[in-house]
A and B are shown apart, each in its own frame.
Chain A
Amino acid sequence: MRPIVIGVLLISTGLAGCAAPGAYDWGGYDQMLYQSYKDPSKSEAMRVGIETHIAALESRGGLVAPGLYAELGTLYLERGETDRAIDLYAKERDAWPESKYLMDAMIVSLERRRTSLPEAAQ
């Protein structure tokens, strides 16, 4: 009996060690990024994955880790969905003041591009 108890304790301690909660719930961000670098066709899976993760976090009032809104914005930008990208860059800026300079610069540049090339936006 006792060895089993100890074994279970060891296993649960080991598991707790693996799952040690950090400050943020990343939703597998690093794995998705790795997979999409390994196989660029996985970037669509990454877009869906981050989108789903952010929605789940927001619905329970959780904190979205630094960079995630912007990374999702860039995945939309690469699909040509500029409006969605701008919205997400604005969210990153509002969540993290350190990103304001870059996010504002990107939003301004995307808006300028959109107004100078109205036909390309369609």
Chain B
Amino acid sequence: MKRLLMLIAVFSLVGCATPKEPMDFTAFEAAAPRSILVVPTVNNSLDVDAPNYLLATLPMPLAEKGYYVFPVNTVKVVLEMEGFYEGEQVHQQPAAVLAQQFGADTVLFVTIDRWDAQYALISTTVTVSFQYRMVARDGTEIWSATETMAYTPANSSSGNPLVDLIAAAISAAVTRAAPNYLPLTRQANQQVFILGHSAIPDGPYKEMGVNR
């Protein structure tokens, strides 16, 4: 009986520590992309500014990972000249066609599912949630990931409940007035591209940089 309990205990520990299924990078490595075309994002949130703000955060982590990233604002302006003003229109185009039009090896599509701040009485939780998908120029999907990040400002306790309540209310008011989505968005990008189990392989420029 004791042994059984121990076994159960060991198994449950193993269960907790089991990492996510390792991702299959066969298709990614077969495509061996050098360049990534980041197209305007699709917005399923209610914040009309979210797609542009997200777009601004995407090039840096991908370039730092060693890829040539097409200039996102230039790409956006070119697409607008072609009559594509919304991410939805762009995402409806076949990835192979987009890749050919820009001479890119892969296209990165990102969809915003959440970009909101939920207000409770004395605290506010800011949440972002994105779906990422990378497609090679032959139309094969070579990578995908989803990420959700939430942030609730922590209020340190002063030992005086009334003071704490006032401090919390002020903090919530600040977050409510101007929820700052950028740090969370950067964190989500870091997680999917660089830190998490979905981290993409290094690109050809990984070893280059300021010392070149």
Q: Which residue of B lies closest to A57 (CB)?
A: B210
In the complex, A100→B212 CA distance in Å? 21
Q: Known contacts A23-B208, A74-B77; is A34 also within 8 Å of B53 by CB?
A: yes
Is A102 a contact partner of B56 (Cβ separation < 8 A)? no
A66: contacting residue among B49, B69, B102, B105, CB under 8 A? B69
14 contacts between A and B (CB under 8 A): A21-B210, A23-B64, A23-B205, A23-B208, A37-B56, A62-B210, A63-B210, A66-B71, A67-B69, A98-B35, A99-B103, A100-B103, A101-B102, A102-B104
- Check: B60 CB closer than 8 A to any chain A CB: yes
Which residues between 72 and 110 of chain A lie within 8 Å of chain B, taking CB atoms?
A: 73-74, 77-78, 92, 96, 98-102, 105-106
In the complex, A96→B27 CA distance in Å? 25
Is A98 a contact partner of B68 (Cβ separation < 8 A)? yes
Q: Known contacts A22-B209, A23-B205, A102-B102; is A66 also within 8 Å of B68 by CB?
A: yes
In the complex, A92→B103 CA distance in Å? 14
Binding site for B on A (CB under 8 A): 21-26, 29-30, 33-34, 37-38, 62-63, 65-68, 70-71, 73-74, 77-78, 92, 96, 98-102, 105-106
Is A67 a contact partner of B72 (Cβ separation < 8 A)? yes
Binding site for A on B (CB under 8 A): 34-35, 49, 52-53, 55-57, 59-60, 63-64, 66-74, 77-78, 102-105, 182, 205-206, 208-210, 212
B64: contacting residue among A24, A73, A105, CB under 8 A? A24
Q: Known contacts A23-B205, A63-B208, A63-B210; is A101 also within 8 Å of B71 by CB?
A: no
Residues of chain A within 8 A of B103, CB atoms compared: 98-102, 105
Number of A-B contacts (CB under 8 A): 95
Shortest Cβ distance from residue A13 to the other chain B in the assembled complex, whole angstroms: 19
Is B74 a contact partner of A74 (Cβ separation < 8 A)? yes
Q: Which residue of A lies closest to B211 (CB)?
A: A63
In the complex, A13→B61 CA distance in Å? 22
Is A33 a contact partner of B209 (Cβ separation < 8 A)? no
Residues of chain A within 8 A of B182, CB atoms compared: 34
Q: Which residue of A lies closest to B209 (CB)?
A: A23
In the complex, A54→B212 CA distance in Å? 16
Shortest Cβ distance from residue A107 to the other chain B in the assembled complex, whole angstroms: 13
Is B68 a contact partner of A33 (Cβ separation < 8 A)? no
Is A106 a contact partner of B78 (Cβ separation < 8 A)? yes
Residues of chain B within 8 A of A26, CB atoms compared: 60
Q: Known contacts A101-B103, A102-B103; is A67 also within 8 Å of B70 by CB?
A: yes
Is B209 a contact partner of A67 (Cβ separation < 8 A)? no
Is B53 a contact partner of A70 (Cβ separation < 8 A)? no
With A66-B63, A99-B68, A102-B103 already in contact, 11 other A-B pairs whose C-beta atoms are closer than 8 Å: A23-B206, A25-B210, A29-B60, A34-B52, A37-B52, A37-B56, A38-B49, A70-B71, A98-B34, A102-B104, A106-B78
